[in-house]
């Protein structure tokens, strides 16, 4: 049993799973090569494979469900590659269903024997899994009502999606007993401890391209005083620079504005007035294949990494921090020409005396490529990107709330 905001959540230790059919929600959302659709990194699959293995060893029939990407994005692909990667890690067959709740999935679920593993296709191929709605509504939706009668238990291992009130996260635990999986459990135990760290300054390094989520989190951590400084990188930094009146090339501006509503951009303008929000002084930019360094007052190409002066500026702040949270890469790290900024910030964070948390897919893979002596200096590697930040900013995570409700409803642990 673990606790979340004082409420009890049952874990896999609290239930007898032998011979039971288990729906295991994981977050195997991974970077994908936009040209080939192939997986670029399997770190999240590695994390969840241990939970799958334990369920198999305990004699459950395991049906794995995950989302991948968002509709119309280049990483919105089917999960055949994920199923193959999981099978390789387990050294066992993983049957792949070419739908989520259709005839193929249902037939495979119904025929799954104890110890067998089935993987359903991308849960976001179902419209409902892209909709934020109250748990009670999702519990009565198509996906949940169609699949839940086929299962005895719902195991939620998807900490990284627990900030979403989507069908596959919050609907099932209201219909069938829901417990936390091992990844979820580990995250909660580590992050509950992090909340107790009182020393300051607390520095958040926030980058990547998920502007809407990151903006909400910046607002929360700055306004509530949780973060003393937010060092922005990546597209997040470009958004704040635009909010501060910096002009950027038209196509870059269009990219930012395509990811954020005009209301949220107004919020960014308000937040940009806060001195806690730091923005880069230079970028590594690419223009017609040429790479150069541009001061932020004259950005002449597409920003692909933070520049060397920004690295120095941010390093100084990280060296003095007591808690560092890093989420979202500082540049397009898939391309070796644009990794230097992120790598320099990571090295500085690990050389500091701060408790350092890495969050999100890119940082998990970065952590796994570090030599063991450096990796051991990372306080916690979280599978969560947005979820981690929402958790640390004190927001209620719907996925965890739903597990707590499930425990109350089905009285799994008292
Ligand atoms: C993540 O990578 O943060 C999670 O998989 C959630 O994905 P989402 O932001 O598309 O909901």
pLDDT digit string (tens) for 293-342? 999 998 989 999 999 999 999 999 999 999 999 998 899 988 999 999 99
Tokens 């193929």, residue located: 104
Tell me how far apart the alpha carbons of residues 282 and 291 are, in angstroms, rounded to a whole number: 13
Q: pLDDT digit string (tens) for 199-244?
A: 999 999 999 888 988 998 899 889 988 899 999 999 999 999 999 9
Residues 222 and 166 occupy one common structural domain: no
Residues 90 and 136 occupy one common structural domain: yes
Residues 126 and 201 occupy one common structural domain: no
Residues 113 and 248 occupy one common structural domain: no
Residues 61 and 163 occupy one common structural domain: yes
Structural domain of 78: 2-184+396-410
Determine the residue of 26, 31, 164 to mutate for testing ligand 1's pocket, defined as the one with the most ligand atoms within 8 A of the Cβ atom: 164
CA of 210 relative to ligand 1 center, distance in Å = 9
- What's the CATH number where 233 sits? 3.40.50.1260
Q: pLDDT digit string (tens) for 78-116?
A: 999 999 999 999 999 999 999 999 999 999 999 999 999
Determine the residue of 210, 259, 384 to mutate for testing ligand 1's pocket, defined as the one with the most ligand atoms within 8 A of the Cβ atom: 210
Angle at which helices 262-271 and 211-223 cross, to 10°: 40
Alpha carbon 50 to its chain's center: 18
Residues 177 and 192 occupy one common structural domain: no
Is the CB of residue 385 below 6 angstroms from any atom belonging to ligand 1? yes
Residues 58 and 81 occupy one common structural domain: yes
Residues 139 and 77 occupy one common structural domain: yes
Is the CB of residue 124 below 6 angstroms from any atom belonging to ligand 1? no
Is the CB of residue 361 below 6 angstroms from any atom belonging to ligand 1? yes
The answer to whether the CB of 97 falls within 8 A of the CB of 121 is yes
Nearest CA to ligand 1 atom 6: 161
Tokens 């597209």, residue located: 235
Residues 226 and 133 occupy one common structural domain: no
């Amino acid at each position: 049993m673990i606790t979340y905001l004082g409420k009890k959540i049952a874990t896999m230790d609290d239930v007898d799973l032998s011979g039971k059919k288990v729906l295991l929600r994981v977050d195997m959302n991974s970077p994908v090569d936009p040209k080939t659709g192939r997986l670029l990194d399997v770190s999240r699959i590695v994390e969840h494979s241990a939970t799958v293995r334990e369920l198999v060893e305990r004699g459950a029939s395991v049906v794995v469900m995950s989302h991948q990407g968002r509709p119309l994005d280049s990483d919105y692909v089917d999960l055949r590659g994920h199923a193959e990667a999981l099978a390789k890690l387990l050294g066992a067959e993983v049957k792949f269903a070419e739908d989520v709740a259709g005839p193929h999935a249902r037939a495979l679920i119904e025929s799954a024997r104890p110890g067998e593993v089935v993987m359903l296709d991308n849960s976001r191929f179902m419209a409902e899994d892209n909709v934020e709605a109250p748990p009670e509504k999702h519990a009565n939706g198509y996906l949940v009502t169609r699949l839940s009668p086929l299962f005895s238990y719902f195991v939620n291992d998807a900490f990284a999606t627990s900030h979403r009130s989507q069908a596959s996260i919050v609907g099932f635990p209201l219909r069938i007993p829901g417990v936390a999986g091992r990844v979820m459990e580990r995250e909660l135990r580590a992050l509950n401890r992090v909340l107790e760290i009182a020393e300051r300054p607390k520095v958040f390094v926030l980058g990547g391209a998920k502007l809407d989520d990151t903006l909400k989190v910046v607002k929360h951590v700055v306004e509530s005083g949780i973060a003393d400084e937010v060092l922005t990188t990546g597209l997040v930094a470009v958004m704040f620079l635009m909010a501060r009146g910096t002009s950027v090339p038209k196509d870059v501006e269009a990219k930012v504005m395509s990811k954020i509503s005009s209301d949220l951009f107004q919020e960014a303008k308000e937040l940009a007035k806060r001195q806690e929000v730091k923005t880069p002084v230079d970028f590594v930019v690419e223009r017609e294949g040429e790479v150069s360094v541009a001061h932020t007052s004259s950005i002449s190409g597409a920003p692909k990494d933070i520049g060397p002066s920004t690295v120095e500026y941010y390093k100084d702040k990280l060296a003095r921090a007591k808690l560092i949270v890093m989420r979202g890469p500082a540049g397009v790290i898939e391309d070796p020409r644009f990794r230097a900024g992120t790598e320099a910030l990571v090295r500085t964070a690990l050389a500091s005396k701060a408790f350092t948390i890495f969050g999100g897919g890119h940082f998990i893979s970065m952590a796994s490529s570090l030599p063991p002596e450096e990796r051991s200096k990372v306080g916690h590697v979280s599978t969560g990107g947005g979820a981690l930040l929402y958790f640390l900013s004190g927001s209620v995570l719907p996925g965890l709330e739903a597990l707590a409700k499930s425990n109350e409803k089905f009285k799994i642990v008292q």
